[in-house]
Amino acid sequence: MKKQKATLREYYQWIKAKRSLKLREWLPQLKRKLVGFRNYFGLPDNSRSLSYVYDYVLHSLYKWLNRRSGRRSYNWSNFKKMLEYFNIKSPKVGKRFVQIDWY
């Protein structure tokens, strides 16, 4: 639980620091971070925790992107379109790989 809170805090601070830059510069980095997180922690037993982190990151991204100017930059449907444009998808967890040793 401590590691998950630390991860959420890191994502939050990272998004907050990058929010003023152009999206095409740093959203591909965010996508790579999320894909790497899914690849490392993506086990069927861990799918609920994985989706919680993903949802938290999206809500943080939505919050900080809407604070970039004096008015809201995105509503939720336009935000979803932007995520689709940058190909940021929700994590899908497959079956656990079982290695069979043949002797």
Domain membership of residue 82 (yes or no) is: yes
Domain membership of residue 10 (yes or no) is: no
pLDDT in the model for residue 1: 80
- What is the DSSP code string of 50-87? HHHHHHHHHHHHHHHHTTSSSS-S--HHHHHHHHHHTT
Q: What residue numbers bound the domain in which 72 lies?
A: 47-87
Domains: count for the chain? 1
Q: pLDDT per residue over 34-92, tens digit each?
A: 999 988 888 878 888 889 999 999 999 999 999 987 788 899 999 999 999 999 988 87
Domain membership of residue 100 (yes or no) is: no
pLDDT in the model for residue 101: 58
Domain membership of residue 60 (yes or no) is: yes
pLDDT in the model for residue 78: 94
Say which residue, 22 or 68, is predicted with more confidence: 22
Cα–Cα distance for residue pair 31/87, rounded to 1 Å: 8
